[in-house]
Amino acid sequence: MKKFYIPLLILFLLTNGCFVSKEYPVEYDYNFLGDFDNYKSFDFFITETYMPEAPQKLVKSTIKSHLELLGYEYNPDKPSFYVSYFFIEDSLKYKGYDQPKMESFIRYRSDSQKEKEKYQKQKFEIDQGTLVINFTETDNYSMIWQGYTTDLYSENIFEDPRKIRVAVLSILNNYSYVPDRKNN
């Protein structure tokens, strides 16, 4: 009988681990004319958000670690872009854009091609519980990238630090631009 429980326990642990590490569905938008090659450093811009203090600290530290891993420098004195994040409890209608994949668009299109590109609007019905992460250029305060994942209210992510990290990383994994390290 013991032999039967051990494989069952292992199967349970493996499948439970998969559920904890699943990524959340994410949408993102970016500025076609963002000068991504010149973004080398970042700082945080604090926004009003409904989020308990401990999860706020975890969101901030997860973002900071991820951006530093990509090659960006945390520099509160002279950032090239600001990072803000906030949580929206309610459902809402949101205007986003259907855009080409960020990495190929930025790397392989000329400046003149980028200038001719048109934003294709699309409307989203966003469920309760949306986490938004936004990157804003410091020179002109224009949005350069934002990602969001929704329907987190039903997940109650603030009660589980692993779910918070997974939600943040699900969003940031869609920011596919890696700065050229030799120019840093």
Higher pLDDT, 61 or 12: 61
Q: How high is the pLDDT of residue 125?
A: 66
Of the candidates 45, 59, 36, 3, the residue with the CA atom closest to the CA atom of residue 171: 59
129: left (phi over 0), alpha (psi -120 to 50) or beta: left
DSSP state letter for 81 = E
Q: What is the tens place of the pLDDT at every residue in 73-102? A: 999 999 999 999 988 776 666 666 666 666
Structure token pair of residue 90: 């309610």
pTM of the model: 0.74
The better pLDDT of the pair 103, 3 is held by: 103
**At residue 51, does pLDDT exceed 60?**
yes
Q: Are 96 and 124 in contact (CB under 8 A)?
A: yes
Span 20-24, mean pLDDT? 63
pLDDT at 19 over 60: no
What pLDDT shows up at residue 63?
96
Residue 11 is predicted with a pLDDT of: 45
Segment 16-33 shows an average pLDDT of: 68
pLDDT > 60? residue 20: no
Q: Tell me the pLDDT band of 106, cut-offs 50, 70 and 90.
A: low
Q: Cα–Cα distance between 136 and 45 in angstroms, integer?
A: 9
Contacts of 93 (CB under 8 A, 6+ apart): 123, 124, 125, 126
Higher pLDDT, 115 or 58: 58
Q: How would you classify residue 76: left for phi > 0, otherwise alpha for psi between -120 and 50, otherwise beta?
A: alpha
